[in-house]
């Protein structure tokens, strides 16, 4: 290489190497300070796209866990009310047994029947008042076998959505809750004319009410059993979702997070190269002075 004045090629070369090393040092610094290997699309365009899809799925699955927990809370609310209904039904069976014997007069049976009707009304009140977040659980609104979510207020059985997609096989299922009002259980005046559990005002009606009350208890128990089974299913669903979210998070971490040990090695390497380039650039900038020495003769 000739000794020239107009173009300092050594300085240009050192400057290019300095810019290259300094740029890589800047990337290593950004990665170490942020903890992310993929901070921009330039780092890994395909990895960034996969990561963002994974982050969306992780957020959706975590929300699904919250949805399932809300459903469990709803079920526990309904089951708690049914526990009170259970106590009322036991009392009704006791009253019907009492009115079935022949040692009471008609007036006394009417008194017993008044408590019977009051208990039936209380069962209806409990079933009609039990709600979770404004959703009434035991009044028969959720007993329909079909679901329609096209309106502002969905109708029929309630849909519990917990997945990140919209597949009926993977992402949601329905909860149907039977009618636990007195009429739904077939007891009390609201049960309608001719129903065996309508009244215990006579010995014959009281005896017929015993079978109706047994059926009502069974119907109530079926509702509670269905709720209990669904609660257990939701608990298993939550465990699966949590494992799924954990695995997705691990996969996202492999793509997105920086390996600190590897990146720190790269940082030190580029730091040394940058320092060397700065030193050599300084030396290269002083080389044209050798030409002036020749000119001075």
0.85 exceeded by pTM: no
The backbone torsions φ and ψ at residue 83, rounded to the nearest 5 degrees and listed phi first, read -65, -40
Separation of alpha carbons 226 and 75, rounded Å = 10
Higher pLDDT, 121 or 284: 121
> pLDDT tens digit string along 215-260?
999 999 999 999 999 999 999 999 999 999 999 999 999 999 999 9
Of the ranges 15-29, 67-81, 274-288, which is most confident?
67-81
**Residue 72: per-residue pLDDT:** 97
Lookup: tokens for 179? 């009618």
Mean per-residue pLDDT for 260-273? Answer: 92
Lowest mean pLDDT among 39-43, 58-62, 86-90, 177-181: 39-43
Mean per-residue pLDDT for 156-174? Answer: 93
% of the chain residues with pLDDT over 90: 75
Mean per-residue pLDDT for 8-21? Answer: 87
pLDDT confidence bin for 293, thresholds 50/70/90: confident
Lookup: tokens for 158? 């309630």
Q: Which residues of 28-54 are buried (b: 16+ CB within 10 A; e: fewer)?
A: beebeeeebbbbeeebbeeebebbeeb
Mean per-residue pLDDT for 193-221? Answer: 94
**Residue 1: per-residue pLDDT:** 61
Higher pLDDT, 97 or 280: 97
Separation of alpha carbons 26 and 43, rounded Å = 13
**Residue 157: per-residue pLDDT:** 95
**Residue 12: per-residue pLDDT:** 87
pLDDT confidence bin for 206, thresholds 50/70/90: very high
Mean per-residue pLDDT for 123-136? Answer: 96
> pLDDT tens digit string along 31-80?
898 999 998 888 889 999 999 999 999 999 999 999 999 999 999 999 99
**Residue 10: per-residue pLDDT:** 83
Q: Which residues contact 242 (CB under 8 A, 6 or more apart)?
A: 65
Lookup: tokens for 57? 């799925």
**Residue 80: per-residue pLDDT:** 97
| CATH superfamily, with its number, for domain 74-256 | f41 fragment of flagellin, N-terminal domain (1.20.1330.10)
Q: Which residues contact 68 (CB under 8 A, 6 or more apart)?
A: 160, 162, 234, 237, 238, 241
Max CA distance (Å), the chain: 144
**Residue 2: per-residue pLDDT:** 66
**What is the overall mean pLDDT for the chain?**
92
**Residue 270: per-residue pLDDT:** 92
């Amino acid at each position: 290489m000739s000794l020239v004045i107009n173009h300092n090629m050594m300085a240009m070369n050192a400057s290019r190497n300095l810019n290259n090393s300094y740029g890589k040092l800047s990337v290593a610094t950004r990665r170490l300070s942020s903890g992310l290997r993929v901070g921009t699309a330039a780092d890994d365009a395909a990895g960034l796209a996969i990561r963002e899809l994974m982050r969306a799925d992780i957020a959706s699955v975590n929300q699904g866990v919250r949805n399932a927990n809300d459903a469990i809370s709803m079920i526990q609310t309904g089951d708690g009310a049914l526990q009170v209904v259970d106590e009322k039904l036991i009392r009704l069976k006791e009253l019907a047994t009492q009115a079935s014997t022949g040692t009471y007069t008609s007036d006394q049976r009417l008194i017993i029947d008044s408590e019977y009707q009051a208990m039936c009304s209380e069962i209806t009140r409990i079933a009609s008042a039990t709600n979770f977040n404004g959703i009434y659980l035991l009044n028969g609104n959720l007993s329909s076998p079909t679901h329609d979510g096209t309106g502002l207020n969905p109708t029929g059985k309630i849909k519990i959505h917990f997945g990140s997609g919209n597949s009926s096989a993977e992402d949601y299922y329905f909860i149907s809750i039977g009618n636990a009002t007195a009429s739904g259980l077939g007891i009390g005046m609201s049960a309608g004319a001719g129903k065996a559990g309508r009244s215990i005002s006579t010995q014959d009606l009281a005896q017929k009410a015993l079978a109706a009350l047994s059926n009502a208890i069974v119907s109530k128990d079926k509702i509670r059993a269905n709720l209990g089974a669904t609660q257990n299913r939701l608990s298993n669903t939550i465990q699966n979702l949590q494992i799924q979210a954990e695995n997705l998070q691990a996969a996202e971490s492999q793509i997105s997070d920086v390996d600190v040990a590897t990146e720190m090695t790269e940082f030190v390497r580029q730091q040394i190269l940058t320092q060397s380039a700065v030193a050599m650039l300084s030396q290269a900038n002083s080389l044209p002075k050798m030409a002036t020495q020749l000119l001075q003769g």
